Amino acid sequence: MSGFFPSLETFAKGTLATAATLSTLGIGLVYYGQNYLIYPSAFPPGSRIDVAAPSDFELPYEALELKTSDDITLRCYMLPQRKEIGYGEAFIDIPPDMTEEQFIASRPTVMMFHGNGGNLGHRIPLAGIFFKRMRCNVLMMCYRGYGHSEGSPSEKGLRIDAQTGLDYITSHPILKQTPIILYGQSIGGAVAIDLASRNPDKITALVLENTFTSLPSLVPHALPVLGPFAFLCHQKWDSASKIPLIPPTTPILMLSGARDEIVPREHMRVLWEAVAKRGERKKINGSEYKVGLERAKYMEFEYGGHNDTCTQPGYWSAVSEFIASLRSHVLEKQRVSSSSSSSSSSSKASL
């Protein structure tokens, strides 16, 4: 019998070797396979094949193909405003002699960055609210590896995709005249924050919903079994460190679901603290001012989960009011810019 059963020492060594092998395999899967967990672009099933079009919802649109700097084709949707659509907020008064192009240029442009599941087609009803109710131009971004876009998703890739979309707007003969608002849900919020931090002078405002401080800090909650390996997460999306790079004069609306089962509301609260710090008192010409905080707002929805916060009562009213309030902000920004240009011209003339 003693020759049949392995010794305790042999058993222990075998167990240790097996554990080490499984641990190494597990760590390898976590490190190299995390993109499949973070960017489940094929979920729900069919998301890489079946992509709804705005026309399915009776919305006019342009099928837009954007080529990125690393030669990836993104297939997005552009919904430019139209004078004759006949709906929207009552405050919009369209002069009869205003051309279609002038009307488009007079309205804000919303860049939509969706969450990590599904495709842009699933978010068309949300785009419709921006388009119909708020009369915004809407650019629905489709990340690489999502929907019908080429490539595979990654943090580096999505950052390039977002910049490609912004460059399209800022180089467009009509859209470049419009205020640009970034709307991001979940990981889309991280994409929006990153883009704004790298283009502080081009972004007018941000609307952020249920996003996180960073992916490594989210792992222990979203994937508890992988919590001990959070340090291996190479997809950082470190929004907490990028918020301070966004000017305090850039308005930000933060919308949090108190019952979010994926991103704990504490993440949004930490980001809100970072946003609020942009409004700390600063001395300007000898006087103290609270800069920026009055242009930021945080709202928490008691019954909001990760995927249904946008259906909660008061959500879209808050977004609509926020966007309507940007008109005075844009006019002030244009006045300051004009004043600065005049001062610069005067200085050059005096020289």
Is 267 noted as a catalytic residue in this protein? no
The H or E element that residue 308 is part of is none
DSSP string, 165-230: HHHHHHHSTTGGGS-EEEEEETHHHHHHHHHHHH-TTT--EEEEES--S-HHHHHHHHSGGGGGGG
CA angle 133, 134, 138 (to 5 degrees): 105
Is 50 noted as a catalytic residue in this protein? no
Per the residue annotation, which of 149, 161, 256, 260 is the catalytic one?
260
Contacts of 205 (CB under 8 A, 6+ apart): 179, 181, 182, 250, 251, 252, 253, 322, 323, 326, 329
Per the residue annotation, which of 122, 148, 221, 306 is the catalytic one?
306
Tokens of 75: 């297939």
Is 172 noted as a catalytic residue in this protein? no
The number of helix segments (H) and strand segments (E) in the chain equals 9, 10
CA angle 274, 276, 319 (to 5 degrees): 100
Per the residue annotation, which of 186, 214, 217, 256 is the catalytic one?
186
**Which residues are tagged catalytic?**
186, 260, 306
